[in-house]
Amino acid sequence: MFDNIFGIHEPALLLAGQRLSVLANNMANADTPNFKARDIDFAEVLGGQGDTPLPVTVTNAGHMTLSDNGVPAGEVKYRNPYQAALDGNTVEMPVEEAAFAENNVRYQASLTFVNSQISLLSYAIAGQ
Amino acid sequence: MSLFSVFNVAGSALNAQTIRLNTTASNLANAESVNGDPSQVYRGRHAVFQAMMDDSDTSDDGQDASAGVRVLGIVESTTPPTMSYQPNNPQANKDGYVYASNVNPIEEMTNMISANRSFSSDVEAINTARDLLLKTISMGH
């Protein structure tokens, strides 16, 4: 029953944490020559989370089992710059700041959902 | 926990930008330095940044998500120093010429503004990560 009480918000929270680190790294390297800005495609990683994965039959002891509740590994991709700098750096500060703010909101939204789920459960446990 | 790595990443950037501001301050301070010997005159210094790859962070997908930045080194500007005729200057060579440093104050000022902006962004990243972590700690309360 309590396997998946937080739903999509648990992996979303972890992914937002990963993405925050990637975006902070872009900002840190805003003045580094030849640095390529990176990002995680949120929708793509979490897109497959809603569907139940097909069961994998283990017919041999040597087969590896797939972990079904693993955290989605955010695939870090390179950003397409609007206008790359002459030194080969593709970090665009306004883009980074916008993505950072958006990610911040996503994180806090997931956190709010998790918190409300916890208070709902504790309300049910206390029964008053 | 990836949120904690923000402190390392942004912290390395604060350090790098501080070194850059230091070289700018040094350049501006020596903008009017002169010397009779062109090889002895002060030359503008600039910090060169390099992305720092963290090999210890082998996350489940094997990609390095966090890195940070470091100062690879300080390079001296190769612009030739400007020569001027100042026979009364005690630094003048036997022909009465002194060589002024090749620092361009306008370039230095824009460099300083850029370092300032980057520093502010990194501080903002640290503050955001701190706020999110504090909220995460108080989860369920």
User: Is B134 in the A-facing interface, judged by CB distances under 8 Å?
Assistant: no
Residue type, position B131, single letter: D
Give the pLDDT band of residue B139 (cuts 50, 70, 90).
confident
Question: Who contacts A35 (Cβ-Cβ below 8 Å, separation ≥6)?
Answer: A29, A88, A89, A90, A91, B51
How many residues are present in chain B?
A: 141
For residue range A48-67, list pLDDT tens digits in order: 655 555 555 667 777 655 54
What would the 3-class secondary structure string for B16-38 be?
A: HHHHHHHHHHHHHHCCCCEECCC
Asked if ipTM goes beyond 0.85, one says no
Rounded Cα distance, B10 and B14, in Å: 6
Nearest-neighbour CA in chain A from B67: distance (Å): 6
pTM over 0.90: no
For residue range B119-132, list pLDDT tens digits in order: 999 999 999 999 99
How many residues are present in chain A?
A: 128
Q: Report CA B62 to chain centroid distance, whole Å.
A: 31
Nearest-Cα residue of chain A relative to residue B48: A32
Q: Do B125 and A24 touch (CB under 8 A)?
A: yes
H helix intervals, chain B: 2-29, 105-137
Would the CA dihedral through B57, B62, B66, B71 be positive or negative? positive
Q: Residue B63: is its pLDDT beyond 70?
A: no
Beta carbons of B45 and B28 less than 8 angstroms apart: no
Give the pLDDT band of residue A11 (cuts 50, 70, 90).
confident
Q: Which two tokens stand for residue A51?
A: 């569907």
Nearest-Cα residue of chain B relative to residue A18: B2
Query: Rounded mean pLDDT of A1-17?
Result: 84
Q: Residue A38: is its pLDDT beyond 70?
A: yes
Choose among A19, A40, A11: nearest CA to A101.
A19
In eight-state DSSP terms, residue A76 is E
For residue range A56-98, list pLDDT tens digits in order: 566 777 765 554 445 556 678 898 999 888 999 999 999 999 9
The CA radius of gyration of chain B, in Å to the nearest whole number, is 22
- B-facing residues of A in 2-41 (CB < 8 A) are 14, 17-18, 20-25, 27-33, 35
